[in-house]
């Protein structure tokens, strides 16, 4: 430690995709005033377009120490390139612990590269399951949990999932770090973001739409079904910040099929938070956006058949409608604001980052003893 009273621990976070920058920024902030921690950040480069990466680094004051620039590709190519690059950094830096987040290919690459070098792995957002193995994320979650030593669970369901798989040691219900992040950045978003004015939606109700799951957006006919069923004269404006994966398929639809939707570029986090807070309804297939809708007490229709976040379904704040037009329209017709408040405590109440920090230091101390 710099003051000479102990040992400084070297922790290395592996990130690569938009939601990971947001979560890792919160943990980095928590580590900042802990003298006993040196925190390095490695960005695989899985997300690289300025509005998917740099804009978050600037806004969240997040500075990766390494950028591997792996870019897009098939699962094996992207994961393999990331593993090779991560391995080199780990061999040079020799961290005491590697932290991985969520369920992307960068998560998997980080966990595998570390465990093979006998470096313990802490998995943030451990224990989540969709029980749908056709989702690339489900495979990433199962493998990452299997090789991680510290399992940070965001919800009681995540803890239960791991227990039912026989994992008991180092399963810790920390809460959801995305809640900590939201609680920290929402007041800043209210002060700084002018997105409502920019989109001219200060006075009128609007809905917020996001879609990026391969099963929903890679095939033109799936995306068309959702977009088409949202065209109704009595629907308010629909704002659709569009993920680059979705943008590729949207190009195949004609402009007349899209004229009832405001398609915009991916948004910076602060703008996104403010839009979520003011939307009268959120339609999404995103894991992060489902939870943010819940934390902000906004009704949400999830355009999937299952969710890793069943806590959000409580009191019908969130409802699963898939991409079937009839069910989406039924969800819209039945839309009400539940009277019960969201159960924020089951997501840790905003204390996840502090809890993770404490647990990681405790784990390293025990290892050294």
Q: Enumerate binding residues for ligand UDP (CB under 6 A).
A: 18-19, 22, 210, 212, 241, 266-267, 269, 272, 286-289, 292
Catalytic residue list contains 212: yes
Cα distances from 368 to residues 7, 9, 360, 365, in angstroms, run 10, 11, 12, 5
In the chain, the largest separation of any two C-alpha atoms, in whole Å, equals 69
The yes or no reply on residue 80 touching ligand UD1 (CB under 6 A) is no
Q: Which stretch binds ligand UD1 (CB under 6 A): 31-39, 193-201, 244-252, 293-301?
A: 244-252
Report, in Å, the least distance between residue 244 CB and ligand UD1: 3
81 or 103: whose CB is closer to ligand UD1? 103
Provide the 3-class DSSP secondary structure of residue 241.
strand
Choose the contact partner of 79 out of ligand UDP, ligand UD1, none; CB within 5 to 8 A by kind: none
Q: Which one of ligand UD1, ligand UDP, none interacts with residue 298, CB within 5 to 8 A by kind?
A: none
Question: Within positions 83 to 112, which residues make up the interface with ligand UD1, using CB under 6 A?
Answer: 103-105
Q: Which of residues 177-216 bind ligand UD1 (CB under 6 A)?
A: 212
Q: How many CB atoms lie within 10 A of CB 279?
A: 23
Q: Which does 244 bind (CB under 5 to 8 A by kind): ligand UDP, ligand UD1, none?
A: ligand UD1
Minimum CB distance to ligand UDP, residue 71 (Å): 17
- Secondary structure element (H or E) that encloses residue 150, with its range: strand 150-153
First-to-final CA distance of the chain: 17
SS3 content of the chain, % helix, strand, coil (to 5): 50, 15, 35
Query: Is residue 72 involved in binding ligand UD1 (CB under 6 A)?
Result: yes
Cβ(211)–Cβ(243) below 8 Å = yes
Closest CA relative to residue 210, chosen from 103, 136, 291, 309? 291
Taking the CA atoms of residue 259, residue 262, residue 266 and residue 269 in that order, the dihedral angle to the nearest 10 degrees is -170
CA 351 to chain centre: 17
292 binds, among ligand UDP, ligand UD1, none (CB under 5 to 8 A by kind): ligand UDP
| 245, interface contact from ligand UDP, ligand UD1, none, CB < 5-8 Å by kind | ligand UD1
Tokens representing residue 91 in the block: 């061999």
Q: Which of 137, 145, 285, 308 binds ligand UD1 (CB under 6 A)?
A: 137
The answer to whether 49 contacts ligand UD1 (rule: CB under 6 A) is yes
Catalytic residue among 39, 43, 47, 212: 212
**Torsion angle of alpha carbons 288, 290, 295, 299, nearest 10°?**
160
**Minimum distance, C-beta of residue 231 to ligand UD1, in the bound complex (Å):** 25
H or E stretch at 101:
strand 97-101
Q: Count interface residues toward ligand UD1 (CB under 6 A).
A: 19
Residue ranges in contact with ligand UD1 by CB under 6 A: 17-19, 46-49, 52-53, 72, 103-105, 136-137, 212, 244-245, 248
Active site residues: 212
């Amino acid at each position: 430690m710099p003051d000479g009273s102990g040992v400084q621990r070297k922790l290395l976070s592996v990130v690569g995709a938009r939601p990971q920058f947001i979560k890792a920024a919160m943990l980095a902030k928590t580590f900042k005033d802990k003298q006993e921690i040196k925190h390095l950040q490695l960005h695989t480069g899985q997300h690289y377009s300025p509005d998917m990466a740099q804009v978050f680094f600037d806004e969240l004051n997040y500075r990766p120490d390494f950028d591997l620039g792996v870019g897009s590709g098939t699962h094996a190519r992207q994961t393999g390139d990331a593993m090779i690059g991560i391995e080199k950094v780990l061999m040079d830096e020799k961290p005491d612990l590697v932290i991985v987040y969520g369920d992307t290919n960068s998560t998997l690459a980080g966990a595998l590269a570390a465990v093979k070098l006998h470096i313990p792995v802490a998995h943030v957002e451990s224990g989540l399951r969709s029980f749908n193995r056709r989702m690339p994320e489900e495979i990433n979650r199962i493998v990452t949990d299997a090789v991680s030593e510290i399992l940070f669970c965001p919800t009681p369901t995540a803890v239960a999932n791991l227990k039912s798989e026989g994992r008991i040691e180092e399963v810790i219900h920390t809460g959801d770090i995305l809640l900590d992040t939201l609680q920290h950045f929402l007041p800043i978003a209210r002060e700084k973001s002018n997105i409502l004015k920019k989109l001219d939606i200060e006075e009128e109700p609007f809905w917020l739409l996001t879609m990026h799951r391969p099963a929903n957006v890679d095939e033109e006919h799936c995306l068309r079904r959702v977009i088409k069923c949202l065209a109704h004269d009595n629907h308010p404006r629909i704002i659709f910040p569009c993920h680059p994966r979705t943008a590729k398929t949207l190009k195949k639809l004609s402009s007349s099929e899209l004229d009832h939707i405001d398609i915009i570029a991916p948004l910076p986090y602060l703008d996104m938070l403010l839009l979520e807070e003011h939307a009268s309804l959120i339609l999404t297939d995103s894991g992060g956006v489902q939870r943010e809708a819940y934390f902000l007490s906004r009704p949400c229709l999830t355009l999937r058949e299952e969710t890793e976040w069943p806590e959000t379904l409580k009191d019908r704040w969130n409802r699963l409608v898939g991409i079937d037009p009839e069910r989406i329209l039924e969800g819209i017709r039945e839309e009400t604001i539940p009277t019960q408040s969201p159960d924020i405590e089951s997501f840790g109440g905003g204390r996840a980052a502090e809890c993770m920090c404490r647990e990681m230091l405790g784990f390293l101390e025990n290892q050294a003893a």
